[in-house]
Amino acid sequence: MRPKQQNLFDPNSISNLMQENLLPKDGEVEVYASFFSSEESLLLFENLRSQINWKQENMKFYGKEVKVPRLTAWYGDELMKYKYSGIDMKLNPWTADLLKIKQRIENHTSLNFTSVLLNYYRDGNDSVGWHRDNEKVLRVNPVIASLSFGATRKFKFRHIQDHKLVRSIDLTDGMLILMKGETQHYWEHSIPKSSALSKPRINLTFRTLY
């Protein structure tokens, strides 16, 4: 049975379809399959694709400078600086759509997010390698809210002490994932390439910086 349709941008209207913790130990990953309806997701995807200040950054990889295999953008509160993989992200002020998305997630989690890192995967050739979101500015046991719009992509986790311990999930349109507890200390995550995929996906990861 399909979940009840949500009103566009109604912060009090969400799907409560949550799976059990995706991880077997050392962390918590909550999955909400239809946090945004298909109608909302389509509208937000098109708005974000056209209105966000996307940029392809350069990063160091084994001593060489290479292009990041996706487009990115950083939005948030004033003075919220963020750096990862040697990249100093340029801060952009919140847009109206980003604030509405943020409000709905905050209403659900009872948390306050200060910024969001956006990733635009143009097709299956764009990806992100194994990593943890464990920068010092996130402090201990951060909660990261990851939201997907557009094409379905495989999202993989592996335990840092046992790379054979892997969990994966298909990230579908409108899906929210909350990574909580010790997840960023013990689990890496990635979006692998997919040569068969030609459609784009936009990902938003809301964070609280200190």
Q: May I ask the CATH class of domain 28-207?
A: mainly beta
Report the range out of 25-34, 70-79, 84-93 with the highest average pLDDT.
Answer: 25-34
Reported as a single tens digit per residue, the pLDDT across 199-210 is: 999 999 999 988
174/113 Cα distance (integer angstroms):
19
Please give the helix or strand (H or E) that residue 49 lies within, else none: helix 38-51
Confidence of residue 80 (pLDDT cuts 50, 70, 90): low
pLDDT over 50 (residue 3): no
* Residue 90 token pair: 């340029």
The mean pLDDT of the chain is 89
pLDDT for the residue 12: 45
Percent of the chain with pLDDT over 70: 86
164 Cβ neighbours under 8 A, 6+ residues apart = none
Q: Are 131 and 189 in contact (CB under 8 A)?
A: yes
Q: Is the pLDDT of residue 173 over 60?
A: yes
For 79-114, b/e burial (b = at least 16 CB within 10 A) is ebebebeeeebebbebeeebebbbebbeebbeeebb
Q: Domain locations in the chain?
A: 28-207
- Neighbouring residues of 99: CB distance < 8 A, sequence distance ≥ 6: none
- The answer, yes or no, to whether residue 115 has pLDDT greater than 80, is yes
Q: Considering only CA atoms, give the Rg of the chain.
A: 16
Cα–Cα dist 139/89, whole Å: 19
